[in-house]
């Protein structure tokens, strides 16, 4: 079978995510037959460096021998069981390890990132309700992204995904973000936010805000906008002062992407809820966690007749195969100097991309840990210049998937230095080409 045949048959039956399907009349889809390390290989033997970790999930390469082995071992024991009234050894180990690593106390399971966000929002609201308060609103940040289900979309702010559904979304309060990572902009934004906190949390009928939800350090789907650890610390302080929860969405930035295992560690704070997914299983299987405090847990812990239990459930909660992948991923962090090696790699990437500043269509370069973004000048979105870079990348063996005018690298950590060179060179030439070419 060749690429063309697979694509033709696919298009007859499948509807793909985040895609205008009509684009495929002119834009070929790439059917992948196998993966290895940072490479994806199509049905005709072409190889592509997965510079975006397959939507930010993969950490230690495709078909990682260790994770493969651990999933196979689990498969021989138990594939799945109901997680209400039952447990399994992998979940015990994962719970112990995640609480130890995060400094939090209790782990609740979901099976994708958006579900984790829904769980955290519901849990926070329910906590206040169990304590006799009804707080129907949430604070979230400008330009934020927390997933595509209705609740998650309600606390997001990327118009492209949200606008169409505005009438059916929940009411929400959006807070400004700093223009950049500088101290001046950070202080400016925090001052404005303090005023909003003062206004919105103190109403004649009490405080209507359950929590603030944010992505610490990098707003990934929000065009890789970055802010400082001070901003995260400042918001955590405001949440404490005004007695609302802090929900950190580390679905994309967790597990080393920002340089530390979790982004919040750079701000030296502790959230009330931490949402994890994506890299949690090394990019193998869908799983998410909401990690919270004993204080939250205790607000639900009482005699059944008081009706305060958190009755949220998903069929695949705590799936043993996904949990085995997560434990294997943590084993790799534990036994190999991953973060240390990443620091060298991110420094190398940063030095190498300085030359992008010479390109007249590059507005800014920025980096946080293993996330690096190159923002082109604000071309009108209709010109789809990012797509020119995407196409050029595929023709030259690199999977880049720009967000509008922003080209970024978020590669698996196993990428080596020559692969980094190739990834950067292809992006450079793609951006150069986008000076003179547009799409459609
Ligand atoms: N939050 C963030 C920060 C994300 O980046 C994403 C996914 N891109 C989600 C939530 C939603 O996760 P999922 O796609 O698994 O529902």
User: Which residue is listed with tokens 């340089």?
Assistant: 259
Residue that is last in its domain, among 335, 358, 379:
335
Tell me how far the alpha carbon of residue 224 lies from the centroid of ligand 1, in angstroms.
13
Pocket lining for ligand 1, CB < 6 angstroms: 112-114, 117, 145-147, 215, 220-221, 249, 251-252, 277
- Residue 354: DSSP 8-state: G
Tell me, yes or no, whether 19 and 50 share the same domain. Answer: yes
Residue finishing a domain among 307, 335, 363: 335
Residue 440: what pLDDT? Answer: 67
Same domain, 348 and 319: no
Residues 42 and 187 in one domain: no
Q: What is the pLDDT of residue 439?
A: 85
Q: How far is CA 309 from CA 111, 119, 305, in A?
A: 20, 13, 10
Rounded Cα distance between 9 and 265, Å, is 47
Q: Is residue 440 part of a domain?
A: no
What CATH number is given to the structural domain containing 254?
3.40.640.10
Residues 59 and 77 in one domain: no
Domain boundary at 310, 335, 360, which?
Answer: 335
**CA 251–ligand 1 middle distance (angstroms):** 6
54 shares its domain with 89: no
Whether 183 and 308 map to the same domain: the answer is yes
Instruction: Say yes or no: 194 and 303 in one domain.
Output: yes
Query: How confident is the prediction along the chain (440 residues), in pLDDT tens digits per residue?
Result: 999 999 999 999 999 999 999 999 989 899 999 999 999 999 999 999 999 999 999 999 999 999 999 999 999 999 999 999 999 999 999 999 999 999 999 999 999 999 999 999 999 999 999 999 999 999 999 999 999 999 999 999 999 999 999 999 999 999 999 999 999 999 999 999 999 999 999 999 999 999 999 999 999 999 999 999 999 999 999 999 999 999 999 999 999 999 999 999 999 999 999 999 999 999 999 999 999 999 999 999 999 999 999 999 999 999 999 999 999 999 999 999 999 999 999 999 999 999 999 999 999 999 999 999 999 999 999 999 999 999 999 999 999 999 999 999 999 999 999 999 999 999 999 999 999 999 86
Query: Which of 53, 56, 113, 223 most suits a substitution to test ligand 1, by most atoms within 8 Å of the C-beta?
Result: 113
Q: Using an 8 Å Cβ cutoff, are 78 and 90 in contact?
A: no
User: How far is Cα 287 from Cα 113, in angstroms, rounded to an integer?
Assistant: 8
The secondary element (H helix, E strand) that includes residue 138 is strand 137-141
Structure token pair of residue 185 = 């902009």
Same domain membership, residue 277 and residue 418: no
Is the pTM here over 0.85, yes or no?
yes
User: How many domains are contained in the chain?
Assistant: 2
Residues 33 and 116 in one domain: no
Query: End-to-end distance of the chain based on CA atoms, in angstroms?
Result: 30
Name the β-bridge partners of 375. 364, 406
Domain that holds residue 373: 3-63+339-433
Looking at residue 263, its pLDDT comes to 98
CATH number at residue 26: 3.90.1150.10
Residue at 438 is within a domain? no
Specify if 30 maps to a domain.
yes
């Amino acid at each position: 079978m060749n690429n063309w045949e697979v694509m033709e048959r696919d298009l007859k039956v499948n509807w793909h995510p985040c895609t205008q399907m009509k684009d495929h009349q002119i834009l070929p889809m790439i059917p992948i037959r196998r993966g290895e390390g940072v490479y994806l290989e199509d049905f005709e033997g072409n190889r592509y460096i997965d510079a975006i970790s397959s939507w930010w999930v993969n950490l230690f390469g495709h078909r990682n021998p260790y994770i493969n082995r651990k999933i196979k071992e689990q498969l021989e024991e138990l594939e799945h069981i109901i997680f209400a009234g039952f447990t399994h050894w992998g979940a015990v180990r994962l719970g112990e390890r995640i609480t130890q690593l995060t400094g939090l106390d209790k782990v609740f399971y979901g099976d994708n990132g958006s579900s984790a966000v829904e769980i955290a929002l519901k849990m926070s609201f329910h906590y206040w309700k169990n304590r006799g308060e009804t707080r129907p609103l949430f604070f979230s940040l400008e330009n934020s992204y927390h997933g595509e289900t209705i609740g998650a979309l309600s606390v997001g702010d990327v118009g492209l995904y949200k606008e169409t559904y505005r009438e059916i979304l929940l009411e929400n309060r959006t807070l400004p973000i700093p223009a950049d990572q500088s101290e001046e902009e950070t202080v400016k934004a925090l001052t404005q936010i303090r005023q909003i906190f003062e206004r919105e949390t103190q109403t004649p009928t009490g405080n209507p805000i359950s929590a603030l939800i944010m992505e610490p350090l990098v707003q990934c789907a929000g065009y890789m906008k970055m802010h400082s650890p001070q901003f995260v610390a400042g918001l955590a302080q405001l949440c404490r002062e005004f007695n609302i929860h802090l929900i950190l969405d580390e679905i994309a930035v967790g597990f080393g992407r920002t340089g530390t295992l979790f982004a919040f560690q750079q701000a030296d704070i502790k959230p009330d809820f931490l949402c994890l997914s994506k890299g949690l299983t090394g990019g193998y299987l869908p799983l998410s966690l909401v990690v919270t405090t004993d204080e939250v847990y205790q607000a639900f812990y009482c005699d059944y007749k008081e009706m305060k239990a958190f009755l949220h459930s998903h069929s695949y909660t705590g799936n043993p195969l996904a949990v085995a992948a997560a434990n294997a991923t943590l084993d790799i962090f534990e036994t190999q100097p991953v973060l240390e090696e990443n620091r060298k790699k991110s420094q190398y990437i940063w030095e190498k991309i300085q030359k992008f500043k010479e390109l007249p269509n590059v507005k800014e370069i920025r980096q946080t840990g293993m996330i690096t973004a190159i923002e082109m000048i604000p071309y009108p979105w209709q010109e789809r210049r990012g797509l020119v870079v995407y196409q050029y990348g595929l023709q030259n063996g690199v999977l880049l998937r720009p967000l509008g005018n922003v080209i970024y690298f978020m590669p698996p950590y196993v990428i080596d230095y020559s692969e980094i060179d190739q990834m950067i060179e292809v992006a450079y030439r793609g951006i150069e080409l986008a000076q003179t070419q547009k799409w459609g």
